Every structure is written in C-alpha cells, then in structure tokens.
Structure 1
Amino acid sequence: MAFGSRLREQIAAQGTTPLIGVYDMYSASIAARHYDGLFVSGFGFAAAYYGLPDIGFIAWPDIVAFVQRLRGAFPGHHLLVDIDDGYTDPEVAGLVVETLERLGASGVILEDQQRPRRCGHADGKRILPLAEYLDKLEMVLETRRDLVVVARTDATEEQEILARAKALAATSADVVLVDGVRSVESIQRIQDVIGDKPLLFNQIAGGRSPRLSLAELSELGVDAAIYSTPCLFAAHEAIEASLTGLRESGGRLPSMDRAGAVGVEAATELLEKNLARTRPPEVRVTG
C-alpha cells in the first residue's frame, strides 16, 4: 500500500492519530521508538537547520533532502511534511509535492499565509486572498497521486476562520487544519462547518491552543494531532541543564550511574538500528 493511503486509513480509523514533530535524524530516531507517525515541523527544521525563527527562511530542497533521509531510515512510519505556503507560487508548490511523494512522504500541509510568514501560533499573521490560496491548493491536489493533503488556514478572526474552513472542506483536500485555534468551543464550531471532512489539531508548547490529551481530542471528533516541538523543546531544556551542570562541576562529566543516563553505548545502539533498516538485504546464491 502507498504511503499516502496508509496515512489516510490511519486518520480515518477510530481515535486521534498523533504525529510527532522532529527536527533532525537523531530526534526522529528517538520519536520513532514511541510513535508510528512523524511530522516534519517547519518550526523545528528552521531552528535546527538554520538557527532561525520560523518566518519563511526554509528552502524547499533542504526539506526534500531531510524527508529523503527520514524515509530511508524509517520505511514503516507515517511522514507528514509542513511545506509552509508551498514556497511561493503554485508551480513551485506542485513541484515540491511531486518530489516529496516520489521520495516517500505520506502527506503535506499547505497553508494560506502571505509572506513574510509567521509561526501559526504567533501574532502578525496575514493570509492570502482565498481565491489565490485555492488556486495553489488546486495545483497541489492535481499534482498529487496518493499523497495526503492537509489544507491549512491561519485566519484569526472567528467569521473568517469558519468561512475558510468551510471553503477548504469543500475541496478534495483530505484534511482541514485551522492553526492557532484558541478554545474547545472553537474546535466544535469548526467541526460544524466542515462536516465529515477530517480535522487536524496542532499542539505546540506555549502556543495559542488549549493543551488537550488524545482522549479529549478523540472525544471532540478530532481525527489527527501534530505535536510540533516536543523533541526540540525537550532538547533545549536538556542541553541547557547539561551544560550548566558541566560548568558548575568544573568540567567533570556526570556519572553514568544516574537514572536515564545516555552515553556512547546507548547512542550507538539507537543509530545502529537506522543503519540496519537502510542496509540492503543480503543476496544468497544457491545452486
């Protein structure tokens, strides 16, 4: 079964499908131990690859190269990819989608922001005229063969949110995402206007949206949830704590006897699993 079809079936199944935001191969290696779905987060990738905020610096060949490495290492995982606004015009968006699908992406998220764009949970977002966005979305939909397409709006005013959500649900996009939704009540109103179209919810620590468990999201009828930055922010906290401790200890590394300690053996074991999945099978000649 194709990657898009597999993700589409998972989203259609009972409950809320989680997809965990990863920002490099190491974070993906850890996330893949715990979840079947990985999300290529624009926020995380901009931070990790460029050291810059998520305001439009990502070049599409860099995302494509990352997805190619991910698919090689994780052949059985769902890979949902944030492609921002499709990297400007409809023709580029179509090329990016065609390339990602060929490399094994499961799905993409296309937003309706104008450039310079902003993180979906930040102030100052501006959206494209609806007709302009729908033209770009249509190019993506015509280009994909099996890929899951998530149509995303970054509208912030209630009436505009509902109008856009309804318009996106009327297309052949597989899923609708309203980013930065601020309340459970708003989720319910969005559900009312999109009908049977699957809904995706984005959670980011410190963001605009309420913190909801998968059980709570499932109860609300939300079909999928992306967790944009748990790996990135956990790494930030851990690195800060580790280097603070290293400085305070005068440069002495901590003991490996402590609970949860990670050293060269554990790291190598993690990475060797990726090598095993990417190594071609042995060919045995008999006769």
Structure 2
Amino acid sequence: MHYGRILREEIATSATTPLIGIYDMYSASIAATHYNGFFVSGFGFAASHYGLPDIGFIAWPDMVAFAERLRLAFPSHHMVVDIDDGYVDPEVACHVVQRLERIGASGVILEDQKRPRRCGHADGKQILPLEEYLEKLNLVLESRSDLVVVARTDAVEESEIVRRAAALAETDADVILVDGVRSVEWIRRIREVVGHKKLMFNQIAGGKSPRLSLPELTSLGVDVAIYSTPCLFAAHTAIDSALTELKDADGRLPEVAQGAVEIGVKASTELLEKNISRHHSVHQPVSV
C-alpha cells in the first residue's frame, strides 16, 4: 500500500485529520476502535518503553521495531512516527526514514531541536541553526519515496517562529508544525506565513497550546491535529485509581458484572483478537 499517498489524500480534505497518540500495542488496540490514525508519540514511547521523560533517550531501532509491530497489527491505519531530531546524525535520519517507509509508516515528524532535546511543550528547548536543520531536512526529503514528511520547528521567539515557518514552507516538506503554539492568534499568523503548505497542530494535556475542537481547528486552517498523550495520561489516571481501590479493599478485586463498564479478561481478549483477524482481512483504510 502507498501509505503516504493515502494520508496525503485524507489531509487534502476540508476537515482537520486527527491522529491519536498511542504508546504501546494495547493503547493502539483501543484507539483503533475510535480513530483511523495513529501518532507514534516520542513522549509516550519514552514513557512506556524506558520509563523516562521525553529527553532524547529513544534509540532508533526500538522505535522502528515498535512501528513495525503496529503496522502488522493495524494494516489500514494512518501511522505518523515522531523521529525527534532524526537521532542526531543526518545519515541516521535518512536511514530511519527509509526503514520506516519500508515497513509501512505513513509519515514522520522531524524537528529542529539540538541536544539535550525536550518535549515540545517544555521549557528550555534549544534549536539548531536553521541552515543545519534545512540540510538535514532536505536529505530526509531526498531519501523518502512516498512518505509524508512533517517539518517541525521548536522555536519560541516570535520573530524566529516566523522566520523558520517561512523557510520550512519553501522546502518540499508536506506539512509544517510549529510546536508549542500559545494562542489562536498565533495559529492564524502561522497559517498565513506557511501559505499553501499543510499545517499541523499538536495538542497535549497541560501543554502550552490552547485546547481546541476539530471544527475550531478546521476553521483556523489546520489540516492535521496530533493528540500526543490522551491514551498515556488516561492510563495513568485509571491505573492509579484502580490500584488505590484495590489497596482500600485489602486486595479484593472488584466484581466484573455482565455489561459493566469495568474491563475483564473476556473483553480484553476480544479486543486483542481483532489484531489477529486484521492480518487476514483486505487491507483498506478504515473510516473514522
């Protein structure tokens, strides 16, 4: 399948395309029942795979292996992968992009941060000289075949945001992302700066950007919305609550009644069995 082309066709529609951040195969299995697009979040993967914050610790073979497992289980979902700074070296970035495209990723996001990197909504971010990032970005663009490439800047100074957004819009990148946008007014400003290019917006709970609905984002000219951490943070809340209740009940598990909201072994197994059946189905993109 031409996953990049299929994603481009959806992004080209008038409505904002949502991509849901997942952090492991189980969260992806649940998200797949609600949405047809995944965002393989660096924040979520660092938390689930290493138990660490999003500080640039991810090793590219681990991320590629995870993306491969996702594609095997979900052959029809959009899958955009966060590759941070391309794992520092431009040649490594190109190699990773080619590997991801070969296993069926729909797209990647490449940022302009320098080490030590930070979550896009954290303080203390540092960015590469623009010329150095553009050199890396252009090498990545030349190395891809069909893959959607999102050029991301983590600039925070207003004049630098404008300068970098305009420069990224002049490249062959498919989509532009300015991470950590702090207001609706700045979304409008960036939309004007990038012109005809597709625009991405990143929402993360407790982050620096405003919380906006998909219709609101569509009205602002945003083409793609990534939701980095809803699954991860929901799991954190639910696990903490379940274990608190278990402790309060002196270790007695709650009863899972027929039709109850609580998940038991039957409902969990039924969810995971869908991943087996997808291997044998016709690989067609699913609808939201």
TM-score (norm 1): 0.96
* Structure 1 Cα separation of the partners of residues 193 and 274 of structure 2: 45
SS in 2 for 1:88: coil
Once the two structures are TM-superposed, the CA of residue 278 in structure 1 deviates from its matched residue by 2.5
* Structure 1 Cα separation of the partners of residues 50 and 170 of structure 2: 37
SS in 1 for 2:205: coil
* Aligned residue number for residue 221 of structure 2: 221
Q: Does 1:173 align with 2:173?
A: yes
1:69-218 residue pairs with structure 2 within 5 A?
A: 69-218=69-218
Once the two structures are TM-superposed, the CA of residue 233 in structure 1 deviates from its matched residue by 0.1
* Structure 2 Cα separation of the partners of residues 190 and 223 of structure 1: 13
1:112-147 C-alpha deviation (Å, 9 max, x unpaired): 000010000000000000000000001100000000
* Structure 2 Cα separation of the partners of residues 20 and 200 of structure 1: 13
What is the identity, as a one-letter code, of the residue corresponding to 1:50?
Y
SS in 1 for 2:141: helix
* Aligned residue number for residue 263 of structure 1: 264
Once the two structures are TM-superposed, the CA of residue 82 in structure 1 deviates from its matched residue by 0.1
* Aligned residue number for residue 39 of structure 1: 39
Once the two structures are TM-superposed, the CA of residue 234 in structure 1 deviates from its matched residue by 0.1
Deviates more, 1:88-97 or 1:257-266: 257-266
1:170-226 C-alpha deviation (Å, 9 max, x unpaired): 000000000000000000110111101000000000000000000100010100000
* Aligned residue number for residue 285 of structure 2: none
* Aligned residue number for residue 285 of structure 1: none
What is the identity, as a one-letter code, of the residue corresponding to 1:190?
I
What is the identity, as a one-letter code, of the residue corresponding to 2:273?
E
* Structure 1 Cα separation of the partners of residues 63 and 279 of structure 2: 20
Once the two structures are TM-superposed, the CA of residue 280 in structure 1 deviates from its matched residue by 8.5
What is the identity, as a one-letter code, of the residue corresponding to 1:245?
E
The runs of 4+ residues in structure 1 deviating greater than 6 Å are none
* Structure 2 Cα separation of the partners of residues 219 and 157 of structure 1: 25
SS in 1 for 2:150: strand
* Structure 1 Cα separation of the partners of residues 48 and 9 of structure 2: 31
* Structure 2 Cα separation of the partners of residues 137 and 164 of structure 1: 13
Once the two structures are TM-superposed, the CA of residue 14 in structure 1 deviates from its matched residue by 1.1
* Structure 2 Cα separation of the partners of residues 135 and 233 of structure 1: 36
Among the aligned pairs, what percent are the same residue?
72
* Structure 2 Cα separation of the partners of residues 147 and 46 of structure 1: 24
What is the identity, as a one-letter code, of the residue corresponding to 1:272?
E
* Structure 2 Cα separation of the partners of residues 278 and 17 of structure 1: 25
Once the two structures are TM-superposed, the CA of residue 275 in structure 1 deviates from its matched residue by 1.2
SS in 1 for 2:109: strand
1:66-97 C-alpha deviation (Å, 9 max, x unpaired): 00000000000000000000001110000000
Count of matched residue pairs = 281
SS in 1 for 2:171: coil
* Structure 2 Cα separation of the partners of residues 33 and 167 of structure 1: 38
SS in 2 for 1:55: coil
* Aligned residue number for residue 286 of structure 2: none
SS in 2 for 1:202: strand
* Structure 2 Cα separation of the partners of residues 185 and 172 of structure 1: 26
SS in 2 for 1:34: coil
